[in-house]
Amino acid sequence: MGPVIQSLLCLQKIETQLWALRDALAAKNRSVNAQQRKLLQLQQQTQQKRDQLKHAQADAASQELDIKTQESEIGKLRNALNTARTNKEYNAILSQINSDRTDIARQEEKVLALLTQIDQIDDECRQAQQQIAQTQDRLDSLRRAQQDDQAQSEQDLAKLEQDKSHLADSIPASVLNQFQRVGQNYNGQAMAAVTLNDPRASAYSCSGCHMSITIDTVDFLMSKDEIKQCPNCQRLLYLPPDES
């Protein structure tokens, strides 16, 4: 294995570490963002429940006020019974009292249903508030972990980028361009080893895509310190020490 291929393999190790660090940072950011979205959703849902609670409470209060008003009217009608001059007038007043009582009974059922609903929504609000507190704690924990890792990760990235730059200086520009272009498609894994599948038949394959590699390509890699791309996946091929 010549110095160019060796440099490319060293460069790939650095690229692998860079991709892993960036992925880890991105994963932490995604976790924080997901937790933020969850918290916002819970807050919005809780606010909707609080609005629903206020509406139910206002409705119940209005119904109770109507009941009191009707009870007051019934009181007046009862007094009017004592002054009724004819049976027709008496029966009309009595009929109105019975009608009002029926309305009150109906409204009392509505109030009872509203009070049950209010208790249920109030309980849901308390549970939602607990979820919000738990989610906020989780978000704070993720943010602290993110901040703790950020500084060290940035230092590691800077060191790897520096090592990558120094190493890249020893690789021909055209080769380096191909390496970088292919690596973008495979998360930095631009290199692929040539694997010997069957020594008796001299059958080789690309370790990246597992497609067959010709014996001419293997001979080329054995004799020259130059890159040869897999015809299928375009990765840069190399022979491991035990097969070169």
Dist. CA 3–CA 151, nearest whole Å = 35
Q: What is the pLDDT of residue 243?
A: 54
Task: Specify the pLDDT at position 242.
Answer: 66
Cβ count near 161 (within 10 Å): 12
Whole-prediction pTM value? 0.66
* Residue pLDDT tens, the chain, 244 long: 688 999 999 999 999 999 999 998 899 999 999 999 999 999 999 999 999 999 999 999 999 999 999 999 999 999 998 888 899 999 999 999 999 999 999 999 999 999 999 999 999 999 999 999 999 999 999 998 888 888 888 889 999 999 999 999 889 999 999 999 999 999 889 999 999 988 777 889 999 999 999 999 999 999 988 889 999 999 999 998 765 4
Handedness of CA 184, 187, 192, 198 (dihedral sign): negative
Q: Quick count: other Cβ atoms within 10 Å of Cβ 219?
A: 10
DSSP 3-state of 205: strand
Q: Which domains, from first to last, does the chain contain?
A: 13-168 (1.10.287.1490), 174-243 (no CATH)
Q: What is the CA radius of gyration of the chain?
A: 40
- Determine the pLDDT at residue 84: 86
According to the model, what pLDDT value does residue 204 have?
Answer: 92
